Amino acid sequence: MLVGTGVAVMAPAILRAQPRLASTPFTLGVASGYPRSDRVVLWTRLAPTPLEGGGMPDTPVDVAWELAEDERFARVAARGTFRATTAEAHSVHVEAGGLQPARPYWYRFHAAGHTSPVGRTQTAPADTAKPERLRLALASCQQYEQGWFSAFRHMAAEPLDLVVHVGDYIYEMSWGQRHVRKHGAANPTTLPEYRDRYALYKSDPDLQAAHAACPWVVTWDDHEVENDYTNDRSPMTSDRSFFLRRRAAAYRAWYEHMPVPPSMAPNGPNARIYDSWRFGDLVDLFLLDDRQYRAHHACTEGKGGRAMYTDCAERLDPKRTMLGAAQETWIRDELARSRGRWTLIAQQTLMAETNRAAASANEPSYWMDGWDGYPAARQRLLDAMAARRNANHVVLGGDVHMYAVADLRAGNGPVIASEFVGTSITSQGPSAERVRTLSARNPHLKYVRGDKRGYVLVDITPTACQAHFDVVNDVTDPKTGKSRLASFAVAAGKPGPVPA
Ligand code: FE
Ligand code: CA
């Protein structure tokens, strides 16, 4: 038996013959994700020197894992060995199966004479269960240089069932003012460079604590590859094959560092990461990928790439897609099949139409990189939501580095869904002046706040979905406290958020 006695941990026999490493390879922490009612994904990566390529010998290493019903590993529920290879940067993606629904488990890894920290995870309720509550945190946009990840330390202390991360997990570029720390490297374009960028971010202890506290589901936005890329097009180069090689490297490094199942390993520059989860009869969760398959930016052709707010007829073209044909069909069918009292549609960015014109401008202005650059596709998604009657649709987003609350309607019709957009973990938000203009020009946005960093705590019961905007007091202070900026609620059967 592989039992932690609290005194010493014995490595399984299979590992005793392996080379021992002088220092621990578990520098990037542990993580879990993709919880189902009978299984969960366990993740780690062996990297004794994480910021310099990892520092592993160029040989496969067997990593033993164990998952137990208790924190002291007295009752082990599942265990096995995973062969970590150089080709995957010695990352570990274990799908631990045969588990009980809706219960916590603890897990850890052993390799090369070392034992990892312990992570806590949790399975989803059975499809037939009637859960009384689901609590999740919504996170996005964590530029490493612009602040400490204290929001994650506070998140880790919450009793959460799930973290939903909607992108900008890393930033490929250095930007912003008042940096508290530095990337210390140029923008990555190759696989080793993206690996080092992920390792830098994942070496943060607060981020590690949030991963070790509960399972995550993750999608990406643009900065996991390059700012404002669309599908196969880069705003920085017209060399499509160079950009697709860069995208392939970025997608692979993303996979190597996320608690996602082995089936999600990218194939060159392609990776299917959109997915759905069921939490009994309470919640159907959908996680979308609005970067990989989208049409190129409208109205920017021949304007040198800095025309992101210039409107033109092309923007309204019904052929323009945000999700791509396959994903659009998938989400339409999934929404039609969904049975949950609530549906959560988690995706990258603000969905409500937003006039971004400056205070002095006469004409409305739309941002071509958001849903406003794809209004026909947004309409089709809202139609797919409206087609399911008696559902309570909640859209969750990020990307804009400000909190936003909105009713989502098709034209002047009834409210179809309620939207909550989280601010960033650290990334700097729009100026007070811009937020004032945005609020004045868009009265349908019920709340906009861009000056605070944090996350959204979403608390769902059969009768209500509450969203709490929890922020750190000072993102430049590694020991900062937190406070609650605002709360909104949606009552079941009555779409539209109201202050709570
Ligand atoms: Fe961002
Ligand atoms: Ca973004």
Q: For residue 231, what pLDDT band results from cuts at 50, 70 and 90?
A: very high
Mean pLDDT of the chain: 94
Structure confidence at residue 3 (pLDDT): 36
pLDDT 10s digits, 360-379: 998 999 999 999 999 999 99
Distance, CA 42 to ligand 2 centroid (Å)? 27
CA of 445 to the centre of ligand 2 (A): 20
Cα-to-centroid distance, 370 and ligand 2 (Å): 9
pLDDT value of position 17: 59
| pLDDT one-digit tens code per residue, 56-73 | 999 999 999 999 999 999
From the CA of 369, the nearest ligand is 2
* Rounded distance from Cα 67 to ligand 1 centre (Å): 34
Write out pLDDT tens, residues 293-339: 999 999 988 776 567 888 899 999 999 999 999 999 999 999 999 99
Average the pLDDT over 467-477 and give the result.
Answer: 98
Residue 224 alpha carbon to ligand 1 centre in Å? 10
Question: Ligand 2 centroid vs 20 CA: distance in angstroms?
Answer: 41
CA of 142 to the centre of ligand 1 (A): 7
Q: How far is the CA of 401 from the centre of ligand 1 (A)?
A: 6
pLDDT tens, residue by residue, 95-148: 999 999 999 999 999 999 999 999 999 999 999 999 999 999 999 999 999 999
Q: What would the pLDDT profile of 258-304 be if each residue is shown by its tens digit?
A: 999 999 999 999 999 999 999 999 999 999 999 999 999 999 887 76
CA of 225 to the centre of ligand 1 (A): 12
Question: Cα(391) to centroid of ligand 1, in Å?
Answer: 30
Task: Give the ligand at the shortest distance from the Cα of 225.
Answer: 2
Question: CB within 5 A of ion ligand 2: which residues?
Answer: 168, 221-222, 399
Residue 456 reports pLDDT greater than 60: yes
Q: Which ligand is nearest to the CA of 422?
A: 1
| CA 221 – ligand 1 centroid, Å | 8
Rounded mean pLDDT, 414-431? 97
pLDDT at 1 over 60: no
Quick one: pLDDT at residue 348?
97
Q: Is the pLDDT of residue 45 over 50?
A: yes
Asked if the domains at 12-122 and 134-499 fall in one CATH topology, the answer is no
Residue 355 has pLDDT above 50, yes or no: yes
pLDDT at 36 over 90: yes
* 220 Cα to the center of ligand 1, angstroms: 10
- Please tell me the distance between residue 222's alpha carbon and the centre of ligand 1 in angstroms: 8
Residue 4 has pLDDT above 70, yes or no: no
pLDDT at residue 430 tops 50: yes
- Whole-number Å distance, alpha carbon 169 to ligand 1 midpoint, is 8
Q: Which ligand is nearest to the CA of 222?
A: 2
Of the ranges 5-14, 242-251, 275-284, 473-482, which one carries the lowest mean pLDDT score? 5-14
CA of 423 to the centre of ligand 1 (A): 9
Ligand nearest to the CA of 143: 1
Superfamily of chain region 134-499: Alkaline phosphatase D (PhoD) (3.60.21.70)
- Residue 388 is encoded by which pair of tokens? 């399911």
Section 216-220 average pLDDT: 98
Please name which ligand lies nearest the alpha carbon of 401.
1
User: What is the number of the ligand closest to the CA of 220?
Assistant: 2
Q: 347 CA distance to ligand 1 centroid (A)?
A: 13
pLDDT digits (tens, 9 = 90+) for 142-187: 999 999 999 999 999 999 999 999 999 999 999 999 999 999 999 9
On whether the pTM is more than 0.85, the answer is: yes
What pLDDT score was predicted for residue 19?
Answer: 76
In the reported structure, the alpha carbon of residue 227 is separated from the centroid of ligand 1 by a whole-number distance in angstroms of 9
Quote the ligand 1 centre to 100 CA distance (angstroms): 37
Report the CATH number of the 12-122 domain: 2.60.40.380
Average of per-residue pLDDT across 482-498: 97
How far does the centroid of ligand 2 lie from the alpha carbon of residue 227, in Å? 7
Closest ligand by atom to 350 CA: 2
352 CA → ligand 1 middle, Å: 18
Which ligand ends up closest to the CA of 429? 1
Distance 400 CA to ligand 1 centre (A): 6
Domain extents for the chain? Answer: 12-122, 134-499
11: pLDDT strictly greater than 80? no
